[in-house]
Chains A and B, each alone.
Chain A
Amino acid sequence: MAELVEQSPSETAPSAWTADGFGALYAAHSPAIYYLTLRLLGDPTQAEDATHDVFLKAYRKFDQFRGEATVRTWLYRIAINHCRNLLQSWHARTMVTPADNAVWERAASAGDSPLRVLETKELGRRIQRALDTLPPEYRELLLLVADEQLSYQEVADLTHQTVDAVRGKLHRARRAFAAAFAKTD
């Protein structure tokens, strides 16, 4: 993850879809938001809907954006909450019980070796399969930390924990992901 990124929040409320208004905000942040929703929800159609809904919420609530965080962090917060709500309602309907975190700590002993990729076509599918087996907390952490524009502090704020907790869980999340990814080969 990159070191602290200094980024001034936008000071103007994008009032319309123009090249320098909301259109610019969408162009700058939609790849990151779409990717997050895609990998959290695991379904391209749902991710499309979620990305649309996240940016529409952002448009409606832009007056509440106080510049205490970067626009990107603010959008991530909306996206995470949106995906959590969706996943919660799906899980409630399907009665899925997530695996205990301890299971992952035991299973991740083989996760220190590099992740080898030979086939581009399959990369997304393998990543999704590996992410789907992780506890939601690990999945979120890995996806947020993978964004070089976010600092550890911002990831900690987004996931409501301390930076030390992020570092500790991230270590376990990496190992769990590597172990799960190796099984997708």
Chain B
Amino acid sequence: MPPDPPQSRLTQRQEARTQIAQQIQAGTEFASAEELLRADRAQTRPPPQIETRLQQSIAQEPPPPRPWWKRWLGR
């Protein structure tokens, strides 16, 4: 049987989030504070309005200066 096609990173991340959510729903025990915080972070997404606001703010900004190494190399 041919191997399954490689999954995209996005799909893998979504699956990991679903798995964490299922673990929590099943009454999981977390071994450490970090593990618990990772589970919490996996189900906390930044509100989409931040991106919209940021795009508007950036549109009003002057173009940023070139990075120091580009200036140094004269690129």
| A interface residues (Cβ-Cβ under 8 A, vs B) | 1, 13, 15-17, 22, 26, 30-35, 38-39, 44, 48, 51-52, 55-56, 59-60, 62-67, 114-118, 120, 123-124, 127, 142-143, 145-146, 148, 173-174, 177-178, 181
Residues of B close to A143: CB separation below 8 A = 37
A53 CB, nearest partner CB in chain B, Å:
9
B32 touches A116 (CB 8 A): no
B52 CB, nearest partner CB in chain A, Å:
10
Chain A interface SS verdict (over half): helix
A37 CB, nearest partner CB in chain B, Å:
9
A117 to B30 alpha-carbon distance, docked (Å):
8
Chain B interface SS verdict (over half): helix
B47 touches A173 (CB 8 A): no
Which residues in window 44-75 of B have CB below 8 A to A? 44-47, 49-51, 53-55, 57-59, 61, 63-70
B50 CB, nearest partner CB in chain A, Å:
5
A35 touches B44 (CB 8 A): yes
Which residues in window 7-57 of B have CB below 8 A to A? 21, 24-25, 27-41, 43-47, 49-51, 53-55, 57
Residues of B close to A67: CB separation below 8 A = 69
A116 touches B29 (CB 8 A): yes
